[in-house]
Structures are given as C-alpha cells and as structure tokens.
Amino acid sequence: GAVVSQHPSWVICKSGTSVKIECRSLDFQATTMFWYRQFPKQSLMLMATSNEGSKATYEQGVEKDKFLINHASLTLSTLTVTSAHPEDSSFYICSAPGTANTEAFFGQGTRLTVV
C-alpha cells in the first residue's frame, strides 16, 4: 500500500515557540491531505483539509492562525503550531487518500509536548 511519512515522531518545545510537522506521501501524489488531532484515550478529530496549490479548509472551531497549513507540493503538507501553549500538547496525525480514493493512508503521528 501507499506510504505516508510524518516527521518528527515526537517533539518537545517551549511555550511561545512554533513547531512544524511534515507529512509526505512517499510513493504517490496527494493533492489533498488531512490533519487530525488526538487527545489521550480519545478519537481522532479532523482539524483541516490541506489542498495543494490553494488554501487549507479548517473545521469549525479550529484556529487558522494557530494551526498554519501549507501544501507546497503534491507530496508534502506541513502543519505549523504557532505560539504553542501547553494546551496544544497532543498527538497530531496526517493522512492522504490513495490514488483510487478508496481509503486513507496515515502517517505515524507526532506527539507534541509544550512545556
């Protein structure tokens, strides 16, 4: 199956700094990627849809200025958590639809801890 690589797998940052998370489709092109957030022992909540060559679309309640998404190429989407605070600590996961759009392929996830 298709491979989605997410980096870093974990990061610790100081409050007030920004953190960038990368999501790459390794063996296929993805015009769309999705970013999810998962709190401990909870489900995946869709944050936004990343669109190659255009602006991301955000789900209701997600701050666009806090979570900056850039889809610079057909294989790379980035999520930047700006001015991070402890409440932004969470597990972030990206996914991309396969070429047949019949399933989603997930990155390994990034555990963000803001101290």
Binding site for other proteins (CB under 8 A): 32, 34, 38, 42-46, 49, 91, 93, 95, 97, 101-104, 106, 108-109
Q: Shortest CA distance to 85 belongs to which of 55, 57, 63, 56?
A: 63
CB of 16 to other proteins, least distance (A): 27
Nearer to other proteins by Cβ, of 43 and 87: the residue is 43
Nearer to other proteins by Cβ, of 2 and 82: the residue is 2
H-helix or E-strand spanning residue 105: strand 104-106
